[in-house]
Amino acid sequence: MATDPGAHEEMFRRLRDVRAQAIEHYLLAQQFHAERRELIRDLIKEGFSKAEIAREMGVTRQAVQKMLA
């Protein structure tokens, strides 16, 4: 352990900043996933198949199915 509490103050500040950014990005990712899921559901209601949606997204039909789960 460091004997001088201020010796690593900048590193701890950066650690807190990085943690806050990670939490912010996690929350944004959750919002984007929810929006993507809703858009996929809307497209399916409009008559598009999961395969058609997958082609447009550049993923497999199974990936679209997982996004809806």
> What H or E segment, with its residue span, contains residue 2?
none
Of 25, 28, 38, which Cα lies nearest the Cα of 67? 38
Note if the pTM is more than 0.85. Answer: no
CA angle, 16 then 21 then 26, to 5°: 125
17-48 per-position pLDDT tens digit: 999 999 999 999 999 999 999 999 999 999 99
E runs forming strands in 1-69: none
| Contact (Cβ atoms closer than 8 angstroms) between residue 10 and residue 4 | no
49-60 per-position pLDDT tens digit: 999 999 999 999
pLDDT at 16 over 90: yes
| Contact (Cβ atoms closer than 8 angstroms) between residue 33 and residue 18 | no
